[in-house]
Amino acid sequence: MSPPSAIEPEPETNGHTQPSAKATHEPGLSESQAKVQMPKFPGPPTFTDKYKERDYLKGRLAAAFRIFGRYGFDEGVAGHITLRDPVDPTTFWVNPFGVSFALITKSDLIQVNHQGKIIDGGDVRLLNAAAFMIHGAVHEARPDVMCAAHSHSIYGRTFCALGRKLDIITQDACSFYDDHVLYESFNGIVLAEKEGKDIAACLGNKKAALLQNHGLLTVGQTIEAAVFWFISLEKCCQAQLMADAAAGGRGHETVKIDPEDAASTYKTIGTPTAGWFSAKPLFDLIKKECNAEYLQ
């Protein structure tokens, strides 16, 4: 038996019943009462003591590495996530070179200044030169960026071999509508200062960059947002690779979302607050799974 229709009939016109565009709601509820009210989003904690803020954020950064490890965003020694230091914003914290993402604790993190000198941190004080060149340039160019994330994830680097930006073909991709760039260059491992500055200049005020023949880079006003944008962008790349292959196999093209609809959706799911809140379950889960051992 077919389910009851959600369309109410309107008065007959020329002998025919015209369907109404209004969906029904529960009896006794007015249309205004039936509308779902979105709750007010919480936000990240605030601190008056910058040293307490540093300690908290280092814990969140260590958790971010555990999340990347869980998603398989590590391969050998490639990949890095950085945190602008709240006490001295001219420096940032980063993972020590050669330590597994899945094992990082907050006491392992190293603090680096904009001259590339390690000034504090754990026992392993090896700095990935590419991490410094890319992230140092981004943090210097973007005072609004607290966190930047880069890794050689499989779908991201595959899509980056196509030399194109994302098509907005899914609701999730709307998070990146007019908010990501393509860096159309590859000059090997980023060991030169100019290359890092070129990447930062290309990124501009956007939240994400597709580094051609390389991988993904995302930034955020919070650690959580940068991490969520990376995971979401990786999945958008995967979705487009699959959709393009499926459409091409049938001789068709994918259906693109109307720009006006994409822009409207972006305002709901593409904001810094949305990025922070969307990552919250990931951080809650990793804390439970590893019993918060990353806080050591």
Per-residue pLDDT of the chain (296 residues; tens, 9 = 90+): 444 333 333 344 444 444 433 333 344 445 554 455 656 767 899 999 999 999 999 999 999 999 999 999 998 889 999 999 999 999 999 999 999 999 999 999 999 998 999 999 999 999 988 888 899 999 999 999 999 999 999 999 999 999 999 999 999 999 999 999 999 988 766 666 788 899 999 999 999 999 999 999 999 999 999 999 999 999 999 999 999 999 999 999 999 999 999 999 999 999 999 999 999 999 999 999 999 999 99
Nearest-angstrom CA–CA distance, 207 and 180: 6
Full-model pTM? 0.86
- C-alpha distance from residue 280 to each of 29, 70, 203, 222, 274 (Å): 34, 15, 26, 11, 10
pLDDT at 2: 41
Quote the tokens at residue 260. 């006006």
pLDDT at 190: 63
